[in-house]
Amino acid sequence: MPAKTYVQSTINGEHVDFLCEPRQSLLECLRDVIGLTGSKEGCNDGNCGACTVELDGRIVTSCLVLGVEAEGRDITTIEGIAIGSTLHPVQQAYLENAALQCGICTPGFIVASKALLDQNPNPTEHEIRFWLANNLCRCTGYDKIVRAVMDAANKMQEAAV
């Protein structure tokens, strides 16, 4: 058994420290070590985006980040998107626009969508499609997902006024 490394990070606003092997991906650490199984493993090589998390405000595919790289970093996973028991407007919009079916790609899509709206509150359809290009969905298709993000953008802007 290789020696494990002690890693301290902030996950969903809480200080989390964990032990991980140097070879383990951040996704493995989140799912198998810390027990946050919301982030999904689809392809494990950065294509599908199901494992997308926010790392210091940037979205990354957590299967391509090493667990040891989380040292001192701030991570937001799908479990940290809802505000207490209230769904984030993006989550609500996915539900209302029927933008999910099996739900494996959904955590990655929602993390990426929220990150988009955080930095661009009023994206065009083109910008949304471009931003979500690294997330694959095999059952719902992309139209409903794009509509959900546009809906969330509108609702968030109305709420901000």
Applying CB under 8 A, which residues contact other proteins?
31-32, 36-41, 77-79, 81-82, 87, 91, 94-96, 98, 100, 103-104, 106-107, 110
Minimum CB–partner distance for residue 120 and other proteins (Å): 21
**Burial per residue of 4-36, b for 16 or more beta-carbon CB atoms within 10 angstroms, e otherwise:** eeebebebbeeebebebbeebbbbbbbbebbeb
DSSP H or E stretch at residue 17? strand 14-20
Residue type, 105: C
Of residues 109 and 131, the one with the C-beta less far from other proteins: 109
Of residues 28 and 124, the one with the C-beta less far from other proteins: 28
Q: How many other CB atoms are there within 10 angstroms of residue 156's CB atom?
A: 18
Of residues 24 and 39, the one with the C-beta less far from other proteins: 39
Of residues 110 and 128, the one with the C-beta less far from other proteins: 110
CA distance 72 to 116: 24
Minimum CB–partner distance for residue 9 and other proteins (Å): 18
